[in-house]
Structure 1
Amino acid sequence: MDYIIGFLIAVVIALTGVGAGVITAPLLILFLHVPLEIAVSTALAYSAIVKLIVVPAQVVRKQVNYRVLGFMLLGGLPGVIFGSIMFKHVASSGPRAALYFALGAIIIFTSGWHIYRHFRPAGIARPNKDRAKLIGLIMLPIGAEVGFSSSGAGALGTVALLSMTNLSAPLVVGTDLAFGLVIALVGSGVHMIGGHYATAILIKMAIGGVIGGVLASGFAPKIPNRTLRLVLSLWLTVIGIQFCYNALFKPNASAPKPAAASVVAAHQIPGANRTTTP
């Protein structure tokens, strides 16, 4: 099942362009019954692996603006470290409902952004003046959000780049992907120090993801990806609303279940990782 989920996520990313972080955590929670704190960390690491495959192609095509990327990382790196530390604190001793609400809110925003772009592809007016030097201020909370929920770097980073720079569309995509790769790598490192991850699940998903990404890239141009993106975004919106609802009105639903913990344990490689649950 782990291989299949990794394969499907990579295929969906290749066909729709929706980010790995916003898809992976919900699938791990819903289909593998992985506890949320472990799902978020594993999703962040999987996102880094996917971007490691994609970003080199952007670099070769010269679709990364390193000047803008540097400004983004000035705020994004401290942000993702802070967000990851806060995630560790909340997962260990804080209200677990906060994790569900944060993940749900980011899923709603990200999927809402894709729905908006479906009906208004040119929705954001491009600025006449480049304000890239200020983009680090925006990337600070975005990095913190990624460290806390694993999701949203793609949609939020794209909005910031479109609003504050005059980069071309290919440069926006490439620069945002490079930014997402760096903060995902740093955030994954902090999460792994905290012990909230599942190595065996991640390895199997990565294997399936590589296969899915290679296969999907071949027939992606022949698939009506705008329609698929809309359907996926609508489904993710429902999932995000459900997470937020449970966090606000059913906090007990966020409590760890023994069955979920046993599922994670069944996927572990002895001595390969820790999965700390409150």
Structure 2
Amino acid sequence: MIDPLYALSGFFVGLLVGMTGVGGGSLMTPLLILLFGVHPATAVGTDLLYAAATKTGGSLVHGLARSIDWRVVRRLATGSIPATILTMAVLSRFDLDSSAARGLITFALSGALFVTALALVFGGTLIGLYRARVQQLAPARTAASTVAVGAVLGVLVSISSVGAGAIGVVALVLLYPHLPMSRIVGSDIAHAVPLTLIAGGGHWLMGSVDWHIIGSLLAGSLPGIFLGSYFAVRIPERALKLVLAAVLFVVAGRLAYEHATSASSVFTAFSRRAVP
């Protein structure tokens, strides 16, 4: 059965994704945590499989348009897939219901949101300056750097479900300054499919996925993405990204505050027990 509140949230996030191209994981995971009170581990795992479903559709569109550079996808996956498997193996050693696991996920999520917001605000300026100074990187250095970026994304996405969008696109633009933007975006989306699927599968095996939420989110987000895509050419993209970045800063600040408060409570409780 479709939950109308989750479907409405999915529609809202899908609308922003359709208009800006980013914001899926950056908004969905904190929305599940802060608005619905979903456990951080469950929010991450649920969002990962939700993202795998939505990005599969996006990669099919880009594949038909021949706007995917599979060489770049292979390089990213070479780093991200082993890093994702290793990260999930480490996470499986933790009790995801513990305060330590909750704190780790919240901390990683708030940090990823801050970086994503900075990428939205300053990414265009940084890319412009970089392209004016750098014409072409050495092929071997580019390949190695792409694998390293994939590994970082694998760890970040596995823990927080954030990073495969804006952060991945900015990194690819810097590494491949002469690759058309459509192929950058298409390659990033295509790489996100196995990344989110493997990470989401790992969370599912650990029991941190809510399939009911996924169904409700998809019911709302798919119409939202189509409607957002329709309005994308009618609203200034720069204004939308600045608004989205402002929202991410606020959400990241809220998560960081909750993490600090939780850590302080744990420390206080530990100190009281330590005192005879």
Q: Determine if the TM-score, normalized by the shorter chain, exceeds 0.5.
A: yes
2:252 corresponds, among 221, 240, 254, to 240
Q: State the match for 2:197 in structure 1.
A: 185
**SS of the residue 1:222 aligns to:** coil
Q: State the match for 1:270 in structure 2.
A: none
Shift of 1:123: 4.4
Shift of 1:58: 0.7
Q: State the match for 1:161 in structure 2.
A: 172
Q: State the match for 1:103 in structure 2.
A: 109
Which amino acid is 1:210 matched to?
L
2:121 corresponds, among 101, 111, 115, to 115
Q: Is the contact made by 1:118 and 1:230 (CA closer than 8 Å) also made in structure 2?
A: no
**SS of the residue 1:250 aligns to:** helix
Alignment of 1:78-227 (within 5 A): 78-90=82-94, 91-93=96-98, 95=100, 96-117=102-123, 122-125=128-131, 126-129=134-137, 130=139, 131-134=141-144, 135-165=146-176, 166-227=178-239
Which amino acid is 2:208 matched to?
H
Shift of 1:147: 0.7
Q: Is the contact made by 2:16 and 2:23 (CA closer than 8 Å) also made in structure 1?
A: no
Distance 1:221 1:253 in 2: 48
Shift of 1:127: 4.4
Which amino acid is 2:9 matched to?
I
TM-score, normalization by structure 1: 0.84
Distance 2:34 2:124 in 1: 26
**SS of the residue 1:34 aligns to:** coil
Which amino acid is 1:201 matched to?
I
Distance 1:88 1:147 in 2: 12
Distance 2:97 2:245 in 1: 31
Q: Is the contact made by 1:40 and 1:149 (CA closer than 8 Å) also made in structure 2?
A: yes
Query: Structure 1, residues 214-233: CA drift from partner, whole Å, max 9, x if none?
Result: 22222221122321211111
Alignment of 1:40-59 (within 5 A): 40-59=44-63
Query: Structure 1, residues 80-102: CA drift from partner, whole Å, max 9, x if none?
Result: 22223334444255612111111
Shift of 1:61: 1.0
**SS of the residue 2:230 aligns to:** helix
CA spacing shift, 1:13–1:199, aligned 2, 3 Å? same
Unaligned runs of 5+ residues in structure 1 are 255-278
Q: Is the contact made by 1:38 and 1:198 (CA closer than 8 Å) also made in structure 2?
A: yes
**SS of the residue 2:190 aligns to:** helix
Unaligned runs of 5+ residues in structure 2 are 267-276
Q: Is the contact made by 1:124 and 1:162 (CA closer than 8 Å) also made in structure 2?
A: no
Which amino acid is 1:157 matched to?
G
Q: Is the contact made by 1:117 and 1:123 (CA closer than 8 Å) also made in structure 2?
A: no
**SS of the residue 1:128 aligns to:** coil
> When the two structures are aligned, how many residues end up with a matched partner?
254
CA spacing shift, 1:252–1:28, aligned 2, 3 Å? farther
Q: Which has the higher contact order (CA 8 A, sep 6+)?
A: 2
Query: Structure 1, residues 179-230: CA drift from partner, whole Å, max 9, x if none?
Result: 1122011111111111101110110101111111122222221122321211
Q: Is the contact made by 2:127 and 2:170 (CA closer than 8 Å) also made in structure 1?
A: no
Larger radius of gyration: 2
Query: Structure 1, residues 95-138: CA drift from partner, whole Å, max 9, x if none?
Result: 12111111000011011110113666624325413444211122
Distance 1:238 1:89 in 2: 32
Give the CA RMSD over aligned residues.
Answer: 2.0
Sequence identity (%): 28
List 4+ stretches of structure 1 deviating above 4 A: 118-121
Distance 1:123 1:107 in 2: 24
Which amino acid is 1:133 matched to?
A
Alignment of 1:53-68 (within 5 A): 53-68=57-72
Query: Which 10-residue stretch deviates more, 118-127 or 11-20?
Result: 118-127
**SS of the residue 1:106 aligns to:** helix
